[in-house]
Structure 1
Amino acid sequence: MRSIQLLIIALVAFLACCSATPAPPQVSLSFLPVQRRSLRTDTTLDSEDNNEDSGERSVWKHVKVRWWLETEKSDDFVRKALKLNGLDDTAMKAHKNYKYYAYFAKKAEDYLFNKWLRNHVPTFEAWKSLNLGKITKADQLKEIANTKNFISYSRFVKQYDDNVVSTLNAGYNPPVVAVARGASEAEITARTMIMASARRDDDVAKVLLGLTKPGYPRRVLDGNALTQHDEYKYYQLFKEAKTS
C-alpha cells in the first residue's frame, strides 16, 4: 500500500509539470556589399508575406478547432483532419499540426469535465467512462499510474473536490452521492490519495468520502459513528498519506 501511495502522489505532482520546445536558432547569411541592400529588401518582403500567410493559416486552424469543439467532433475525426492519424506519439508530437490537436484534446476534456460537474457525475462514473473500470483492486493502481486516462481521472477528481469545497463555503449542500454505490477499492483508494496530496481539510475529506450523517451531507461523523462506517478505512488512509 505504501508504494502505491507514493506512486500516486508522485504522479499527481507530475501533472503540474510542463515542457517547452526551444525556438530554432536563427541563421545569418553574408553577401557582397553591392548585393546586400536589394537582397535584404526582397528577403524582408518575402518574409512578411510568408509570416502573413502563416498567421492566416494559424488563425483558420484555431477557428476550425473551436468549431470541432462546439460540434463535439471525436478525437479520431480531429486527428484525421489534422493529418495525425496513424502516427505514434513521437511522430505526432513532432508534426506541425500537433499544437492544434493538443489544444483540442485539452479543451475537449475541459468541456467534458464541466458537463460532468454540472450533472453531478460521481467520480466512479468518471473512472469507468475513462476506461479504468477493469482496475478494481488497490494493488493494481501501479499498472495505470502513468497512463493518460489516469492522469485525466486525477484532473477530474481535483475539479470535483474543488467544486464541493466551493459549494460548502457558499453554505450549500454538496452532491448527495459522495461515494457511488459499487465504487471499487481501486477507485476510492486513488481518489483518497489524490485528496491527501491536495492537502484537503479533514472535515472536507469526510464529506468527500460520505462520512456524514444520513440526510445531512454537511454534518460530518465522529466517535463510534465514524469508526464503524464502511468507508472509515479510507479516511484513515487519507490521514496517514496526508501526514507522510
Structure 2
Amino acid sequence: MRVANVLLVIVLALLANFAKAHPTKISRVSSYDSPTYQTDREKSLRVAATIESDSTSSEDRGGLQSLVAWARTNYWIETGKTDEYVKKALGLENVSGAALKSAPNYFYYEHFRQTIEWRKLDAWLRNKIPSQLVWKKLNLKDIPAAERVDNDDYKMFVRYVKMEDDNFFYYKNNDIDIKIKYGGSPEEMAIKLDVWVEAKRPNWYVQKMLNLDFRSRNALRKSEYYPYYQEFLKMTGQLKELPKKPLVLSIEN
C-alpha cells in the first residue's frame, strides 16, 4: 500500500506541474520560453517516463491506474508521439467508428488528440495566421460540401474561426488596433456568420469585421461584403423580408 501511495503522490505532482506549464484556457499573451517552464517540463518528462516503464504494478488498480494512464498520455504529448503510436499503445489500432468511441481507452486517446489539436490552433493564433490561410492549408475546398460537417479538419477550422473571432472581439471591444484580413470564400463567410450569430456579436463589430464601418450609406451598399451584413441582420431577426405584394383580384359586379 505504501508503494501505491508513493506512486499516487508522484502522479499528482506530475499533473500539477503539467497544469502549471500548460493551462487549458488559451491566453492571448503566452510564452513557453521561460526557465520555469523548461524546468517543470523536464521534471514532468522524467517522472512520466518512470511511470510509463513501471505500468505493470498490480497494486491499487482503478483510480491509481487511471492517473498513471493520464500521466502517460501527457508524456506522449510532451514527447511528440504520433497518432498511430498512441492508438497502438492504447490497444486502439484497427478500431474505428462506434467501436473506437466505446473502447475503455478512448478517453485517453481523445485527450491526446484534442490537446495536440488545441496546441496547433494556439500556435496559429499566436502567429496571427488568418483563417483564410488555414482554410487553404487544410484543403477544405476539395472536400464535398455534404462531407464537411463530419470531417475532422473542417471541425478544427470552425474551432479556429471561433478562437480567432474571440481574439478579434477582445481587441476591438477594448479599442485596440489589430490587423484583420477581410473576406473569404462563400463557405468561409457562412461559417463566420454562424459564429457571429452564435456569439451574439453586436452590429458594430460585424460591420468592422466586414470592413463596412467607415463607409457612406451608398458606398456601404455597393460593398461586396454588404450582402453578408444583410444576411447577419436576417439571421438575428433584425431585418425582416418585405412581404410579397398581394395579388389584386378583379371582382365582377
TM range, normalised to the smaller chain? 0.5 to 0.7
Tell me how far 1:50 sits from its aligned partner: 6.8
Change (3 A) 1:119 1:200: same
Aligned with 2:163 (options 159, 170, 185): 159
Question: In the aligned structure 2, how far is the partner of 1:142 from the partner of 1:196?
Answer: 22
| Deviation per residue, 1:12-71 (Å, 9 max, x gap) | xxxxxxxxxxxxxxxxxxxxxxxxxxxxxxxxxxxxx97723333322221222222233
> How many residues matched?
182
In structure 1, the partner of 2:207 is: 206
Question: In the aligned structure 2, how far is the partner of 1:167 from the partner of 1:87?
Answer: 44
Question: In the aligned structure 1, how far is the partner of 2:151 from the partner of 2:101?
Answer: 17
Tell me how far 1:100 sits from its aligned partner: 0.2
Change (3 A) 1:62 1:201: same
Change (3 A) 1:160 1:53: same
Aligned with 1:127 (options 135, 146, 149): 135
Question: In the aligned structure 1, how far is the partner of 2:85 from the partner of 2:228?
Answer: 41
1:147 and 2:151 are equivalent in the alignment: yes
Amino acid at match of 1:184: S
For residue 63 of structure 1, give the secondary structure of its aligned residue in structure 2.
Answer: helix
Aligned with 1:69 (options 77, 84, 89): 77
Amino acid at match of 2:165: D
Question: In the aligned structure 2, how far is the partner of 1:72 from the partner of 1:238?
Answer: 42
Change (3 A) 1:156 1:241: same
Question: In the aligned structure 2, how far is the partner of 1:191 from the partner of 1:60?
Answer: 41
In structure 2, the partner of 1:79 is: 87
**RMSD of aligned alpha carbons:** 2.5
**TM-score (structure 2 length as normaliser):** 0.63
In structure 2, the partner of 1:225 is: 219
Tell me how far 1:178 sits from its aligned partner: 3.4
Cα pair 1:145 1:151 within 8 Å, conserved:
yes
**TM-score (structure 1 length as normaliser):** 0.65
Change (3 A) 1:195 1:172: same
Tell me how far 1:73 sits from its aligned partner: 3.2
In structure 2, the partner of 1:238 is: 232
Question: In the aligned structure 1, how far is the partner of 2:203 from the partner of 2:151?
Answer: 29
Alignment of 1:1-244 (within 5 A): 52-135=60-143, 141-179=145-183, 183-209=184-210, 211-212=211-212, 220-243=214-237
Question: In the aligned structure 1, how far is the partner of 2:225 from the partner of 2:136?
Answer: 20
| Deviation per residue, 1:64-118 (Å, 9 max, x gap) | 2222223343323322222212111211112111010111122222212211111
| Deviation per residue, 1:167-199 (Å, 9 max, x gap) | 1223211233233xxx32222222223322332
Question: In the aligned structure 2, how far is the partner of 1:124 from the partner of 1:108?
Answer: 21
Change (3 A) 1:194 1:54: same
Cα pair 1:196 1:239 within 8 Å, conserved:
no
Question: In the aligned structure 2, how far is the partner of 1:84 from the partner of 1:178?
Answer: 42
Tell me how far 1:220 sits from its aligned partner: 4.1
Change (3 A) 1:115 1:155: same
| Deviation per residue, 1:195-233 (Å, 9 max, x gap) | 223321112112223x15xxxxxx543512322222222
Question: In the aligned structure 2, how far is the partner of 1:205 from the partner of 1:65?
Answer: 41
Change (3 A) 1:77 1:206: farther
